[in-house]
């Protein structure tokens, strides 16, 4: 375990060294959510029906969505690049798991965003602002759900990245997954405001459980029975994705050829 803790320590050091880039990347993620929020707020003010949401709950929704997205989003580009350039061989010959190596390397960034989100939320609660259905217990459940969502989305990014064993560039596939998940994850619009066919479709894909479900938990919009059910669905998705990761990794490594120094 200590070797993985060292990876976390190194990624913290890297993050602090290139802190300006971290801030820019975080702001980039925030811009879209702020704009979508302002868009819906202005529509609501001009008389458009946004039920079951109110302007206040929409503010919370997009704030939580920005935080959740920043935590569960992973880039597959680095994995693809390491495979393409042959750097993956350096990790394969070491007594560490490539999957866990990548997972722990992302923890520094995620923990800073989560810490910032918790401090911001605590400050709001201290000032008397909190979502109508929010309870202290929701925050604990949220952390568990967020961990599961993060693992599931990491697996998806890992699968896309390891397609680099067969393809030169996986940026197109990464964008395809991102675009495909945009509407059915609640990142663009809260699911309740979507046409029912898209809402129904989202139940058969993992993205609803990865993005929208954690936000629902924090907003207190979901009953405990549904929380358990959604956690089970998310767990099933993790098992399926893990199985796919294992198959792709085994087949991919078998066909890996590294030439050079």
Residues that bind other proteins (CB under 8 A): 18, 20-21, 24-25, 27-29, 31-32, 35, 38-39, 42-43, 45-50, 167-169, 172-173, 175-176, 179-180, 182-183, 188-189, 193-195, 198
Measured distance CA(206)–CA(202) in Å, rounded: 8
Nearer to other proteins, 91 or 194 (CB): 194
Least CB distance to other proteins at residue 112 (A): 17
Are 94 and 191 a contacting pair, CB within 8 Å?
A: no
Quote the tokens at residue 66: 């920005």
Least CB distance to other proteins at residue 148 (A): 26
Nearer to other proteins, 97 or 175 (CB): 175
Q: Render the chain in DSSP notation, one character per residue.
A: -HHHHHHHHHHHHHHHHTHHHHHHHHHHHHHHHHHHHHHHHHHHHTT---TT--HHHHHHHHHHHHHHHHHH---SHHHHHHHHHTTHHHHHTTTS-HHHHHHHHTHHHHHHHHHHHHHHHHHHHHTT---TT--HHHHHHHHHHHHHHHHHHHHHHHHHHHGGGT-S--HHHHHHHHHHHHHHTTSSS-GGGS-HHHHHHHTTSSHIIIIIHHHHHHHT-S-HHHHHHHHHHHHHHHHHHHHHHHHHHHHHHHT------
Nearer to other proteins, 19 or 229 (CB): 19
Least CB distance to other proteins at residue 49 (A): 6
Least CB distance to other proteins at residue 128 (A): 26
Least CB distance to other proteins at residue 232 (A): 29
Nearer to other proteins, 139 or 182 (CB): 182
Nearer to other proteins, 24 or 100 (CB): 24
Nearer to other proteins, 31 or 251 (CB): 31
Nearer to other proteins, 112 or 193 (CB): 193
Least CB distance to other proteins at residue 95 (A): 29
Measured distance CA(141)–CA(136) in Å, rounded: 9
Least CB distance to other proteins at residue 183 (A): 6
């Amino acid at each position: 375990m200590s070797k993985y803790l060292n990876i976390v320590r190194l990624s913290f050091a890297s993050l602090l060294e290139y802190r300006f880039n971290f801030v820019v990347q975080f702001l980039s993620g925030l811009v879209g959510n702020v704009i979508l929020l302002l868009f819906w707020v202005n529509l609501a003010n001009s008389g458009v029906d946004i039920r079951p949401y109110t302007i206040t709950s929409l503010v919370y929704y997009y704030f939580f969505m920005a935080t959740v997205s920043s935590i569960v989003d992973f880039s597959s580009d680095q994995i693809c690049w390491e495979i393409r350039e042959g750097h993956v061989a350096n990790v394969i010959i070491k007594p560490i798991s490539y999957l866990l190596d990548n997972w722990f390397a992302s923890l520094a960034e995620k923990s800073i965003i989560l810490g910032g989100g918790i401090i911001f939320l605590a400050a709001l609660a201290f000032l008397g602002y909190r979502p109508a259905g929010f309870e202290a217990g929701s925050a604990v459940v949220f952390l568990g759900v967020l961990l599961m969502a993060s693992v599931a989305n990491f697996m998806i990014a890992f699968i896309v990245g390891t397609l680099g064993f067969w393809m030169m560039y996986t940026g197109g596939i990464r964008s395809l997954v991102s675009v495909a998940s945009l509407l059915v994850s609640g990142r663009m619009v809260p699911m309740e405001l979507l046409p029912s066919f898209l809402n129904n479709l989202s139940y058969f894909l993992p993205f609803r459980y990865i993005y929208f479900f954690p936000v629902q938990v924090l907003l207190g919009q979901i009953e405990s029975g549904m929380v358990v059910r959604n956690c089970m669905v998310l767990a099933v998705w993790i098992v399926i994705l893990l199985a796919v990761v294992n198959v792709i990794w085994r087949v991919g490594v078998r066909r890996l050829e590294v030439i050079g120094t």
